Structure 1
Amino acid sequence: MPLGAGRVNLTQLNILNWGFLENIILTVPIGLLLKWFWPKLSLLTIGGLGLLVGSSIEIGQYVLSQHWLINRSSDINDVLANAIGIIIGGLLVTLYYRLSTSRRSRVRLVA
């Protein structure tokens, strides 16, 4: 990419591309770790943290792009994809906890 100030996309919602899916996949581990280390966090709180993390990443890209002319674009689609990925990670850990506790209770009933 050539040097220059990046752009900001706040209007065009485009969820049917590989970039959106990549951002989801890259942030799933954050959701896994949040729910794993703090299991009492609700999924609503994890979703809020997902929006905060996604917004922070995009604001950082915008600031770096304007200051050092690295030509990175900030995109509202990336914020949404990051939040979705973090929520999916939290959901996976929640499902793991529920399945493991139900399996343990079934084993106790049989034994």
Structure 2
Amino acid sequence: MIRWLPFILVSLLWASLCLKDLLAHRYRRIWWWLGCWGLNALTWTPITITLGSSVGDISSFEWAGGTWVLIPLQRASIDLSFWANIVMTVPQGMLFQFNWSQSRWHRWLLAGLATGLTLETGQAIFNAGVHLGRWVDINDVLTNCLGVVIGAACMWELQRHFRWLK
């Protein structure tokens, strides 16, 4: 049960932020917080899913209760989970642009880096604190960032054609 504590506490935080924006009638922002919660559900729970078959071929080391991968783009690490990390953050990039429509590529990049670093830092901290059992992977930072940028670019393009999305 203790391994679920970080996710439960963060869920309470996201719920309170959703409630705050609901009361302030900022409905778009609620989708942003729900997206954050969804990413946390995928990354800060003690459930691990391995989508690759060559995990043993990835150069990694054990430290602070978790497996760390600090060498990016190793051949064995470019598997289905690599691409899934991009896909899972595309909606958050779309929500970022939807909420802050004046943003452009440099802010998309910063939002993507912040997303990837937050998710991986959370995994590192929770591995050390409650033995979450998740991998802390530089590839995840890169792919999460790329997903946010792709999602924001897609929403930006949609906003150009459909003014009601601004």
Normalising by structure 1, we get a TM-score of 0.81
Query: Please, what is the CA RMSD of the aligned residues?
Result: 1.8
Q: Give the Cα–Cα distance (whole angstroms) in 1 for the partners of residues 117 and 110 of structure 2.
A: 11
Equivalent residue in structure 1 for 2:82, among 4, 20, 30: 20
5+ unaligned residues in a row in structure 2: which ranges? 1-47, 49-63
Q: Give the Cα–Cα distance (whole angstroms) in 1 for the partners of residues 151 and 72 of structure 2.
A: 26
| TM-aligned CA distance change 1:12 to 1:96, over 3 Å | closer
Give the 3-state SS of the residue equivalent to 1:83 in structure 2: helix
Instruction: Compare relative contact order (CA 8 Å, sep 6+) and give the higher one, 1 or 2.
Output: 1
Give the 3-state SS of the residue equivalent to 1:7 in structure 2: strand
Q: Which structure has the larger Rg?
A: 1
1:70: Cα distance to partner? 2.1
Count residues in correspondence.
99
Normalising by structure 2, we get a TM-score of 0.55
Q: Give the Cα–Cα distance (whole angstroms) in 2 for the partners of residues 46 and 12 of structure 1.
A: 21
Q: Give the Cα–Cα distance (whole angstroms) in 2 for the partners of residues 36 and 12 of structure 1.
A: 31
1:86 corresponding residue in structure 2: 148
Give the 3-state SS of the residue equivalent to 1:74 in structure 2: strand
Q: Give the Cα–Cα distance (whole angstroms) in 2 for the partners of residues 10 and 99 of structure 1.
A: 41
1:8 matched to 2:58: no
1:37 corresponding residue in structure 2: 99
Give the alignment of 1:67-78 within 5 angstroms: 67-78=129-140
Equivalent residue in structure 2 for 1:95, among 157, 160, 163: 157
